[in-house]
């Protein structure tokens, strides 16, 4: 049987790679650094399928180097690196992985909030470095019980975070492009964006990055928040004006930030944010559990193979 020609532009979970290998001839870039653009173009010359990664810009120029491409699949729910309109113009379906990472990402998002509120990482740092001296000089945080959580971007992950917050005794308000029909069931009240900024004790950001949402948290937005506010971003770094966030944290405009995503990403080791005492940053690990990454990779393989066979993708952004 003739095998499909496929480019895999980054590392991939073994279970999914085995599935792809059974039907495809694969050229894979499996180094830590992103694939060099020239090499990718060379490989794409005869490729029918592409497994892209978040650090590959999929745009008109790339597609022009891939005249035989019939499908692109990526193991993420976000696709801000992809020009979907350009794919659609060429009739190329783009598959992502919604749904399968909801609970893992909600766990990490709420975990960041909990960790920041109770200074768990600072406590660990004290103990690990032998500075655990007495009961008064330990890191002090805030109660989550009774506080108001504001969720900006109430999709599936937002709803899963709301469930966790309600279980901890928090009030939940949210802002979304449109009001959810099930918000009473979620125990979450829809409010205007500015009202959320003013009322929330803790703000969780779960909005997809697009040209419209880029930089939606800047100086004006931080100025509207409580000075005691905790700001959690688990979506994309580009939603936030990093300099404005730095200034807000430095000047006490808000109390604390916990970020799973940053702009730039990776964050350089000498970045000014890392000098602040009131910030906690994890390296974009929202979906990083063994089970979830396997599910994402398998859905990516299913998307790819369906597209190669001319079938509808199980999860397609541009059907």
Which residues in this chain contact ligand DGY in the complex, by CB under 6 A?
54, 76-78, 101, 286-287
Cα(222)–Cα(205) distance, integer angstroms: 13
Active-site residue, 48 included: no
Q: C-beta of 159: minimal distance to ligand DGY in Å?
A: 16
CA distances (Å), 127 to each of 50, 114, 122, 133, in order? 47, 19, 9, 9
23 belongs to the catalytic site:
no
Q: Is 285 helix (H, G, I), strand (E, B) or coil?
A: coil
Return the half-sphere exposure (C-beta side, CA atoms, 13 A cut-off) of residue 82: 26
Cβ proximity to ligand DGY: between 208 and 215 the closer is 208
Least Å from the CB of residue 59 to ligand DGY: 18
Residues 111 and 251: their CA atoms lie apart, in Å, by 26
Minimum Å gap between C-beta 213 and ligand DGY is: 14
CB of 99 or CB of 139, closer to ligand DGY: 99
Task: Note whether 289 and 263 are within 8 A (CB).
Answer: no
Choosing from 265, 290, 291, 293, the catalytic residue is 265
The residue written with tokens 């592409």 in the block is 50
> 199 in helix, strand or coil?
helix
Q: Does the annotation count 311 as an active-site position? A: no
Q: Helices (H), strands (E): how many in the chain?
A: 12, 12
Catalytic residue, chosen from 70, 119, 236, 293, is 236
Minimum CB separation of residue 233 from ligand DGY in Å reads 11
Question: CA 296, CA 287: separation in Å to the nearest integer?
Answer: 9
Q: Report the catalytic residues.
A: 236, 265, 284
């Amino acid at each position: 049987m003739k095998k499909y020609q496929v480019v895999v532009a980054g590392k991939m979970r073994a279970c999914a790679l085995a599935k792809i290998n059974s039907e495809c001839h694969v050229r894979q870039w499996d180094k830590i650094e992103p694939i060099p653009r020239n090499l990718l173009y060379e490989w794409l010359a005869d490729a029918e399928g592409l497994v892209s990664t978040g650090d590959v810009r999929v745009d008109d120029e790339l597609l022009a180097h891939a005249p035989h491409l019939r499908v692109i699949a990526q193991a993420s729910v976000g696709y801000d690196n992809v020009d979907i309109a350009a794919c659609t113009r060429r009739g190329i379906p783009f598959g992502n992985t919604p749904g399968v990472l909801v609970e893992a990402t909600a766990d990490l998002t709420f975990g960041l909030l909990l960790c920041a509120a109770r200074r768990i990482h600072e406590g660990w740092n004290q103990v690990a470095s032998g500075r655990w001296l007495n009961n008064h000089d330990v890191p002090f945080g805030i109660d989550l019980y009774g506080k108001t959580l504001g969720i900006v971007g109430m999709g599936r992950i937002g709803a899963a975070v709301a469930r966790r917050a309600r279980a901890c005794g928090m009030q939940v308000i949210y802002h979304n492009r449109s009001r959810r029909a099930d918000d009473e069931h979620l125990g979450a009240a829809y409010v205007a964006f500015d009202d959320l900024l003013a009322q929330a004790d803790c703000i969780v950001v779960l909005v997809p990055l697009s040209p419209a949402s880029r930089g939606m948290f800047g100086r004006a937005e931080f100025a509207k928040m409580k000075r005691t506010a905790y700001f959690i971003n688990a979506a994309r770094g580009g939603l936030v004006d990093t300099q404005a966030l730095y200034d807000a944290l430095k000047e006490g405009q808000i109390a604390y930030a916990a970020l799973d995503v940053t702009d730039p990403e990776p964050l350089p080791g000498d970045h000014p944010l890392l000098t602040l005492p009131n910030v906690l940053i994890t390296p974009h690990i929202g979906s990083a559990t063994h089970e979830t990454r396997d599910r994402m990779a398998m859905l990516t393989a299913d998307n790819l193979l369906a597209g190669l066979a001319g079938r509808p993708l199980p999860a397609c952004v541009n059907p």
